Structure 1
Amino acid sequence: MDTSAQTRHDVVIVGGGLVGASLAIALERIGVDVALVEATPAGALPSVFDERNLSFAEATVNALAALGVLQQLQAPGAPIRRIHVSRRGDFGRVRLEAADYGRTAFGQVVVARDFGQALEARLSGLTHLARYRPARFLGLGQGDAGSRMLRIGDDSGERVLSARLLVAADGTRSAVRAALGIDAEEHDYGQALFVARVRAERAPDGTAYERFGDDGPTALLPRADRHYGVIHGVAQADADAVAALDDPRWLARLQQAFGWRVGAFLESGPRGRHAALRVRAMRTTAARAVLVGNAAQTLHPVGAQGFNLGLRDALTLAELIEAGGDPGADALLAEYARRRQSDRERTLAFSDGLARLTADPAPLLRPLRSAGLLALDRLPALQALLVGGAMGYRGDVPQLCRGTQA
């Protein structure tokens, strides 16, 4: 390969979605020369920035405020002041109040589209960032001990980039992960997840609901526009039939799955459909390369842990790079893997266990689940463990997540 025309950067991030863009912003604070390879053209947002509702843990809110992203939101987020968890057919429920933990909120809900626009506004003001868009990752080149080379394709044809550190932030089906030869284990939960905006008789009051059933969860998240963001899990075999429902029948299905805690469901926006998968890369680093976000691990959305975990990946990496030296050094990447191990493994285990246990229809599990829900509702020590994880304080937490300026 002719490398004479290669362009050099300290860090090249492949993927301009939630985690990739957040990492680019975090690295700007350090003054690192960063390139962002994005699939979408200028003036457009990646498809992930749609009507989905993102649940930001308190640690995530702290970090995004420190990075100047939340200040760019055109529409305010909605605070999560309490959490209500139950399962259809089981006794017991869990009720968590932020005020009981000295907080006004556990976190907040932001519409993905609004968040994408805020990230774009912040990215557009960065001075140390080169953006290649629209561009696609084509493969790796032959680097040397001090760099990784990658080939990208854009409107000008093919070009070669050289990076001291290559970051894969290109999602669940990461092409960079595959090119690095990193295997991933995958589990299909056999569920389709339908996402929509709905209006109910009772406007949101800051309560986030998680209602489990045999086919998956039905979650209602409070939005700032007096609507709820709904995620409704159905068996994969029923997904086409649910997608074909007209709005009245769709709302009736939601009512049956969720119940009447917010009154009748009155109106629904367009529905999006997504597969429920668990994908875990067998390792998160390679020579001068690192995986972050969904490229490293994709979680079932139950418990709303995915982006929060991915952001902690990005901020931990930025924190280590800020400490100085070579951003792609073996020692730095080994320390990254060590620092992320506990949070990653515990969050994966929590999400996977919750998704499997709550959807299992076995009659013998019902009394065990009911006892567990009753215990969580009545034992403050158990609640505190759950709340700490839900707010993003699990494992080695980056400084920005703690509300501390790094």
Structure 2
Amino acid sequence: MVHSHPPQDTQVLIVGGGLVGASLAIALDRVGVETALVEATPAGAMPPVFDERNLSFAEATVNALTALGVLQKLRAPTGPIREIHVSRAGDFGRVKLAARDYGREAFGQVVVASDFGEALEARLAELPRLVRHRPARFVGFDGIEDGRRVVRLSGPDGEYRVRARLVVGADGIDSAVRQALGIAVESHDYGQTLFIARLRASRAPDGRAFERLTDAGPTALLPRGDRHYGLVHGVAAADTDAVAALDDAAFLTRVQAAFGWRAGRFVDVGPRSRHVARRVVAQRCVDTRAVLVGNAAQSLHPIGAQGFNLGLRDALTLAECVAGADDAGAPALLERHVARRRDDRTRTLAFSDGLARITSNPGALMRPLRSLGLLAIDRDSALQAMLAGGAMGYRGDVPALCRGAAA
């Protein structure tokens, strides 16, 4: 049933209340932009994305989320990443980066997604001007009226309409907004499944983040703030069910064999979730009075921990472009947003995809080339500085809040 009462009007309508969508709502409220947020989950419930996954926040992300008043809401301690250690099974060489070499205490912080979700919700609850449609889901578009996109939403009482100067698709890798706009994607299945869990080792985390690369995918350990590591263990897709069936002891034995002993003996693992590693990139990120951000615009292989950090920079750049504008969906404004995001998006996509493909290639010819590459990076300060800058979130036109500015 479609309600007959007149549609609600707003400047910006964000579809998707996950990590990027909620962050964007807070950023827009900060600069005084009238905003509405469409959330699939009812009040008092957390979106599924806020689970036990471990999020690696680059320094730029930490700066921005602190300025937005979100990180102050975290209840659990974060884990600083003071060093990054990258190696590949069977190859010579390794790369070690230390934050102190760049005048930093840490490259970033590790945050548990569930804790971050609670912090975002606490911050959203402080925004009296924000209109929250929840539970509600995006149904489709009904054209454009008076310079506004007409959006059909479905709630507990049936369908209704909202009109917005700008509609933001922040609804994830399978974005319904993107599909409704007819925006095609480039997709690649890496043939890997990633198992995510909390892991405890005989040696407590000391600020080092490890990435051990193999033919089947990465095994990464992120230093959490609760004396555990956040584990990402990649396996070949064909082995997914067999690995999922392992008991905790057998799973730890497998992970230990893949990773080695740099963090000591693995002694305990928490509940495991699994996620397919795939790359989905929208061929364009804007349409008439519409824009895609976060995973709706691009979903990356998690190697290098770039995904959320890139999506947040999408959101913060958009907030800067919209700030002070009479029309949040004006074509010139959206063109400016695309131009500002182009370099960061292109370089981060290339880095993530290239690293995932090259490091998992089992070809005999790739092994000496990778070894030489690792050795070269470890000995070249300029290459190290480029990697460190990317790890801290400084690529391309960086939003002011990411730089620690008070804009």
Do these two structures clear the TM 0.5 threshold for a shared fold by scoring above it?
A: yes
Task: Give CA-to-partner distance per residue, 1:61-85, whole Å, 9 cap, x none.
Answer: 0000000000000012110000000
Matches within 5 A, 1:98-117: 98-117=99-118
Deviation at 1:353, TM superposition (A): 0.1
Aligned to 1:61: 62
Counterpart secondary structure, 2:183? coil
| CA distance in structure 1 between the partners assigned to 2:336 and 2:164 by the alignment | 19
* Contact in 1 for aligned 2:192/2:234 (Cα 8 Å): yes
CA displacement at 1:3 relative to structure 2: 7.0
Counterpart AA for 1:122: R
What SS class does the counterpart of residue 253 from structure 1 fall into?
A: helix
Q: Tell me which amino acid in the other structure corresponds to 2:240.
A: A
The alpha-carbon deviation at position 2 of structure 1 amounts to 8.0
Task: Give the structure 1 partner of residue 122 of structure 2.
Answer: 121
* Alignment partners' CA distance in 1, 2:205 and 2:128: 40
Does the 8 A contact of 1:32 with 1:128 survive in 2? no
Quote how far apart the aligned CAs of 1:31 are: 1.6
Spell out, residue by residue over 1:15-52, the C-alpha distance to the aligned partner (whole angstroms, 9 max, x if none).
00000000000011122111100011111110010000
What is the match of residue 322 of structure 1? 323
Give the equivalent residue in structure 2 for 1:234: 235
**For residues 21-40 of structure 1, what are the structure 2 equivalents within 5 Å?**
21-40=22-41
Moved more, 318-327 or 59-68: 318-327
Find the residue that maps to 1:232 and give its secondary structure: strand
Q: Does 1:213 align with 2:214?
A: yes
Provide the rounded CA distance (Å) in 1 between the counterparts of 2:360 and 2:209. 19
**C-alpha contact (below 8 Å) 2:3/2:158 kept by paired residues:** no
Equivalences, count = 406
Distance 1:211 1:55, change over 3 A: same
> Deviation string for 1:359-405 (max 9, x for gaps)?
00101111110011011111101100111111000010000000001
AA of the residue aligned to 2:160: R
Aligned to 2:363: 362
| Alpha-carbon distance, 1:323 to partner | 3.9
The match for 2:299 is 298
Distance 1:17 1:362 in 2: 39
Q: Return the letter of the residue paired with 1:77.
A: T
Residue 243 of structure 1 aligns to which amino acid in structure 2?
Answer: A
Q: Note if 1:75 corresponds to 2:66.
A: no
Rounded to whole Å, the distance in 2 between the matches of 1:171 and 1:395 is: 24
Deviations 1:104-161 (A, max 9, x none): 0000000000000000000001022010111111111122351001101111111100
Contact 1:222 1:229 in 2 (8 A): yes
1:325 CA drift (Å) = 2.5
Q: What pairs up with 1:11-50 in 2 under 5 angstroms?
A: 11-50=12-51
Over aligned residues, Cα RMSD in angstroms? 1.0
What TM-score comes out, normalization by structure 2 length? 0.99
* Structure 2 residue 185 is matched with structure 1 residue 203: no
| Counterpart Cα distance in 2 of 1:101 and 1:18 | 29
Q: In the alignment, what sits opposite 2:6?
A: 5
1:210 touches 1:218 (CA, 8 Å); kept in 2?
yes
SS at match of 1:26: helix
**Corresponding residue for 2:288?**
287
For 1:395, give the aligned amino acid. G
The unaligned stretches of length 5 or more in structure 1 are none
- In 1, are the aligned partners of 2:3 and 2:159 still within 8 Å (CA)? no
Q: How far has the Cα of 1:324 moved from its partner?
A: 2.2
3-state DSSP of counterpart to 1:254? helix
The code of the aligned residue for 1:321 comes to V
TM-score (norm 1): 0.99
2 and 224 in structure 1: CA distance in 2 versus 1, 3 angstrom threshold = closer
Query: Which residue does the alignment assign to 2:185?
Result: 184
Deviation at 1:7, TM superposition (A): 0.6
Distance (Å, rounded) in 2 between the aligned partners of 1:87 and 1:331: 46
Q: Distance in 1 between matches of 2:317 and 2:155?
A: 31
| AA of the residue aligned to 1:213 | T
The match for 2:333 is 332
Identity %: 68
Aligned equivalent of 1:257:
258
**What is the CA–CA distance in structure 1 between the aligned matches of 2:65 and 2:159, rounded to whole Å?**
34
The CA distance in 1 between the partners of 2:101 and 2:3, in whole Å, is 62
- Partner SS, residue 119 of structure 1: helix
Partner letter of residue 178 of structure 1? Q
In the TM superposition, 1:336-351 aligns within 5 A as: 336-351=337-352
Query: Following TM superposition, by how much is the alpha carbon of 1:4 offset from its aligned partner in structure 2, in angstroms?
Result: 4.8
Instruction: Indicate the SS of the match to 1:221.
Output: strand
Letter in 1 for 2:378: D
Inter-partner Cα distance in structure 2 for 1:371 and 1:74: 44
Q: Determine the C-alpha separation between the residues in 1 that align with 2:127 and 2:146.
A: 29
Q: Is the 8 A contact 1:139 1:152 kept in 2?
A: yes
Q: Which residue of 2 aligns with 1:133?
A: 134
| Distance in 1 between residues matched to 2:129 and 2:283, nearest whole Å | 32
Structure 1 runs, 4 residues or longer, greater than 4 Å off: 1-4
**What letter corresponds to residue 333 of structure 2 in structure 1?**
L
Contact 1:6/1:160 (CA < 8 Å) preserved in 2? Answer: yes
Contact 2:3 2:160 in 1 (8 A): no
Question: Which whole-Å CA distance do the structure 1 matches of 2:87 and 2:333 have between them?
Answer: 43
Give the Cα separation in 2 of the matches to 1:312 and 1:33. 20
Shift of residue 179, structure 1, vs aligned partner: 0.3
Q: Distance in 2 between matches of 1:145 and 1:362?
A: 58
Answer yes or no: is the 8 Å Cα contact 2:147–2:165 preserved in 1. yes
- Does the aligned pair in 2 maintain the 1:28–1:127 contact within 8 Å? no
* Structure 1 letter corresponding to 2:158: G
